[in-house]
């Protein structure tokens, strides 16, 4: 398993993966030393994340290889269907997965997503439109949703 640390507008980020794909992208709350040498297996993920933060990318195409239960992987697959700049509720996600009663399990799987930003768990909000639960902190969720908002608020002054 190869690891690299990059700096993003939301903090230092750890990326792990191998020839089978990227298995972890995690934002950190502490400072780490930025990786100078990027392993070949991680280069595309690093470039695509930089493009995302630069506003040049709305989808990711590098191979993913997250570890999780079958149910978690099913939830994460469904998260990949939420378009850039859009949101859905935990209830909507549960309905799409075929079991409205599974809302807590869906929320739990969402919170265990190992591929920050790439599997867009930040696009899931409360039924009332509130920003609920986000492992990276609600301020990061708010930033990501604003970053992806197709109608950026222009200042009038």
- Which residues are the active-site residues? 121
DSSP helix/strand/coil, 151: coil
- Which residue matches tokens 């972890």? 24
The strand pair at 88-89 and 21-27 is best described as unpaired
Radius of gyration of the chain (CA): 16
- Output the CA torsion 36→143→137→71 (10° steps): -90
CB atoms within 10 A of CB 92: 18
Distance, in Å, from the CA atom of 4 to the CA atom of 92, rounded to the nearest integer, reads 35
What is the enclosing helix (H) or strand (E) of 41?
Answer: helix 40-53
The length of the chain is 157
């Amino acid at each position: 398993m190869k690891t690299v640390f990059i700096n993003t507008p939301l903090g230092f980020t750890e990326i792990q993966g191998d020839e089978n794909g990227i298995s972890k992208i995690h934002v950190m709350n502490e400072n780490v030393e930025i990786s100078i040498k990027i392993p070949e297996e991680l280069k595309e993920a690093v470039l695509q994340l930089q493009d995302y933060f630069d506003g040049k990318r709305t989808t990711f195409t590098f191979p993913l290889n997250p570890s999780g239960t079958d149910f978690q992987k099913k939830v994460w697959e469904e998260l990949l269907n939420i378009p850039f700049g859009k949101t859905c509720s935990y209830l909507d996600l549960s309905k799409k997965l075929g079991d409205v009663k599974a809302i807590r399990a869906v929320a739990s799987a969402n919170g265990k997503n190992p591929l920050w930003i790439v599997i867009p768990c930040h696009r899931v909000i409360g039924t009332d439109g509130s920003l609920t639960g986000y492992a990276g902190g609600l301020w990061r969720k708010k930033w990501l949703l604003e970053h992806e908002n197709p109608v950026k608020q222009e200042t009038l002054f």
